[in-house]
Structure 1
Amino acid sequence: MDAYKCLICFSAMQGPVYQVSEMMFGSGERFAYTQCPECGTIQQLSPPTNMGSYYPAAYYSFTGLSRSTVPVRWMKKIRLVLYRASGLSLFRPVYENWLHHLAARESDQIADIGCGNGQLLYEMHASGYKHLSGFDPFLAEPLRVASGLELFKLELHQILGTFQVIMLHHAFEHMRDPDASFAKLASLLQPGGRLLIRVPVSDGEAWSIFREHWVQLDAPRHYFIPSVTGMERLARRYGLELFRTEFDSTSFQFWGSQRYRDGASLSDRNPSKIPSAEQMRDYEQRAKLLNQTQKGDQAAFYFRKPI
C-alpha cells in the first residue's frame, strides 16, 4: 500500500482494501479499491491497462441517438420558452436546472465531455442552443449531427480551443488522472467560463452502508470517486471558484447496490430482483432526505473561472 498515493491530494493510501466485482454486465472480475485517509477519495489500485473492453456496444451511453421530427423540435423550443416564462415544472426540460446555474446562453460555446451518444446535446440543440460540441473517446466515429452540433472522438487531453460552458455528467470518474484532467478542464474554460462536474461522491451514506457493493463504484470503469473535500482541493489548486454544490442522488443508490449485494448484475432480468413499488417509494424518499442533508451518493459541482 505504501507505493500508492491519492490521485487527488497525493497522500499515502493506508486504508483497508475492498475487492469490488464488475457487476454492470456481471463478469464478476474483481478489482481492488481503497479510500484516502486524508481527503476521502476512493480509488482503484491497479486499473486495467486497456479499459476499452469494459465499454462494450451494450454500454448505456452508446445506444442510438433518438432524433426528433421537425414538429417535435419546434415543440421543444416552445416548451423551454414556456418554462422560463412560467416556472411551471410541467414544462421544464431535464437539463434546464443545470443550464440555469451555469448561466448558459443559447449563443455560448458549450462542451459536453464524455457525451456518450450525444443525446443531451441533441435535446439542447432542439431547444435553440447553437454552438454545441460533444467529446467522447468511445464514440464509434466523429459525427456532425446538425449545424451547430458536432460529436468528436477525442480524449480530454486532445481537445483544443476554449468554451464558455463545459459539462461533465458522470464522466470525470472515468478519467485515469483527476488532477491532470481538472487542470485541462480549467485551461479549456474562457475567462468567466463555467464548469459543471456531476460525479458520485464518497461522502454519501450509501458508501457507508454498502461498501464494496455500492453500485456507484462501477468497477473497473470508475478509476476514482472523489469526496467533496477532494473537489474543493482541485478547484483551489487550479484557480477555479466552486460556487455551488448540489446533491442529486436518486433511488438507484439503494436498489442498484442491493442488487449487487444480492449477487445480481444490472443486466439480470430476474423479476425477483426488482424492487416492489413500495420499496421504490421508500428508496426515493430516502434519497430526497439524504440530498437535503448532503449525504446523497452523487453531487453536481459548479465552478467559475475568474475574469
Structure 2
Amino acid sequence: MSYERLEQCPICGKEEFKNFLVVTDNTVSKESFVIVECENCSFKFTNPRPDNESIGSYYESEDYISHSNTKTGIINRAYHVVRSITTKQKVELINKYAPAKGAVLDYGCGTGVFLQACKKDGWQIRGVEPSEKAREIASKETEQQIAADLTELEGEKFEVITMWHVLEHIHSLNETMSQLVDKLQDDGTIVIAVPNADSHDAQLYKENWAAYDVPRHLYHFTQTTMKRFLKKHKLILEEVHPMKFDAYYVSMLSEKHKEGKTKMINSMMNGFKSNSYAEKNGKDYSSLIFIAKKK
C-alpha cells in the first residue's frame, strides 16, 4: 500500500494546512485518515491519502453500492428506491439546460443507471468509469461501450457533462477538470453533485458523518470552495440545487457508523432537521448540485 501527501492546496496552491478531523474508514479498511483544512481558502481534503495505484482496494466491498448494485440490507434497499426517483429528476434537470438532447457524458458513471435513463429519454450517451466491475455492468445495462478513461474519447464534444458524486474521488483533480471543460461545447453545461461539508448533518455527526467516506473521498467541498474551484477553471456558476434525499441516506449510514447499527427513527429525524436547517438558510443541504457553463 502506497500513500501520497499533497504539499499544496488543490484550489489555491498555498502550503499551509491545519488538521481538521480524524475519520475512520468504516466501509472497508477500518484505518483512520486525517482531513486537513487549507489556512488560506478553507478547502478541506484527505491528506495523506492512498495513491492512485493503491486506492482501488478501498472500493472492494459489496457495501460500495455504486460499483456493485447490491440490494443487501435495509440501507441499500432504501438507496435503490430513492435512486429510481432521483434518476428521473436528474434527467429532467439536464433537459432543462439542454432541451435539444444532444450528447451527454457521465464521468464516473458507475453501473450506468443514469446513462440508461438518458438513453431512454433520447440522449446520445457516453460514459467513463475506471472500475472494471462497474464498467462491465454499465456496458451491459446501456448496451454501449463504457470508457475506462478520457483518452478513449479523443475529439468528442458534449452538450452536457455530469459528475454525480464523483469529483470528490478524483486524484488528478485539476488536470481531470481541465480535460472535461475542454470536452464541453462552447454553450455546454457541466453538472457536479458533491456532499456538502457545511451541512447540518456534517456538523451533527462530525467524524461519523458518512459523506466524509475516507479515503475514497479525497476532497470535502462546501459552497464557498466549490465556487472557487469553478472560477479556477473559468466556469460560471448558474444555479445550485439541493439533493434532499441525501440527508436521510447519509444520516442512516452515519447512525450506523456512530452506534454500530441502523437507527431508523434517529436517521429520519436528523435527515429532516438537516433539510429544515438548509431550507431556512437557503443553501446548506447535505448534498448539492452545481450547474455551470464556460465563460
* TM-score computed with the length of structure 1 as normaliser: 0.77
- 2:129 alignment partner AA: D
Q: Does the CA contact (< 8 Å) of 1:110 and 1:132 recur in 2?
A: yes
Distance 1:221-1:144 versus aligned 2 partners, 3 A rule: closer
Q: Work out which structure has the larger RCO, using CA pairs closer than 8 Å and 6 or more positions apart in sequence.
A: 1
Q: Distance in 2 between matches of 1:117 and 1:146?
A: 8
Establish whether residue 259 from structure 1 lines up as the match of residue 256 from structure 2.
Answer: yes
Q: Does the CA contact (< 8 Å) of 1:247 and 1:291 recur in 2?
A: no
C-alpha deviations, 1:85-112, integer Å up to 9, x for none? xxxxx9x923234224433433x11000
Query: Paired residue for 1:56?
Result: 60
Count matched residues.
Answer: 267
- 2:275 alignment partner AA: K
Q: Distance in 2 between matches of 1:231 and 1:61?
A: 23
**Please, which of 8, 13, 20 is the counterpart of residue 10 of structure 1?**
13
> What SS does the corresponding residue of 2:163 show, helix, strand or coil?
strand
**CA offset at residue 182 of structure 1?**
2.0
**Please, which of 9, 18, 22 is the counterpart of residue 19 of structure 1?**
22
C-alpha deviations, 1:248-287, integer Å up to 9, x for none? 242133332232223x3xxxxxxxx2223x4344234223
- 1:51 alignment partner AA: I
* TM-score computed with the length of structure 2 as normaliser: 0.80
**CA offset at residue 32 of structure 1?**
1.6
Q: Distance in 1 between matches of 2:205 and 2:274?
A: 15
Q: Does the CA contact (< 8 Å) of 1:9 and 1:230 recur in 2?
A: no
> What SS does the corresponding residue of 2:7 show, helix, strand or coil?
coil
Q: Does the CA contact (< 8 Å) of 1:182 and 1:234 recur in 2?
A: no
Establish whether residue 47 from structure 1 lines up as the match of residue 49 from structure 2.
Answer: yes
- 1:99 alignment partner AA: I
Q: Distance in 2 between matches of 1:189 and 1:231?
A: 19
Distance 1:157-1:206 versus aligned 2 partners, 3 A rule: farther
> What SS does the corresponding residue of 2:160 show, helix, strand or coil?
strand
**CA offset at residue 202 of structure 1?**
2.2
**Please, which of 237, 248, 259 is the counterpart of residue 232 of structure 2?**
237
**CA offset at residue 242 of structure 1?**
0.6
Q: Does the CA contact (< 8 Å) of 1:39 and 1:227 recur in 2?
A: no
- 2:55 alignment partner AA: M
Q: Distance in 1 between matches of 2:220 and 2:190?
A: 18
Query: Paired residue for 2:294?
Result: 305
Q: Which moved more, 1:49-58 or 1:168-177?
A: 49-58
C-alpha deviations, 1:42-65, integer Å up to 9, x for none? 111111121111122623122259
Q: Distance in 1 between matches of 2:140 and 2:187?
A: 28
1:193-204 correspondence to structure 2 within 5 Å: 193-204=188-199
Unaligned regions of 5+ residues in structure 1, if any?
67-89, 265-272
Query: Paired residue for 2:89?
Result: 94
Unaligned regions of 5+ residues in structure 2, if any?
72-84
Distance 1:147-1:260 versus aligned 2 partners, 3 A rule: closer
Q: Distance in 2 between matches of 1:65 and 1:260?
A: 19
Q: Highest CA radius of gyration, 1 or 2?
A: 1
Instruction: Flag as ranges the 4+ runs of structure 1 deviating above 6 A.
Output: none
- 1:15 alignment partner AA: K
> What SS does the corresponding residue of 1:300 show, helix, strand or coil?
strand
1:164-179 correspondence to structure 2 within 5 Å: 164-179=159-174
**CA offset at residue 144 of structure 1?**
4.9
Select the structure that is richer in helix: 2
Distance 1:285-1:201 versus aligned 2 partners, 3 A rule: closer
Q: Distance in 1 between matches of 2:139 and 2:256?
A: 39
Residue identity (%) = 21
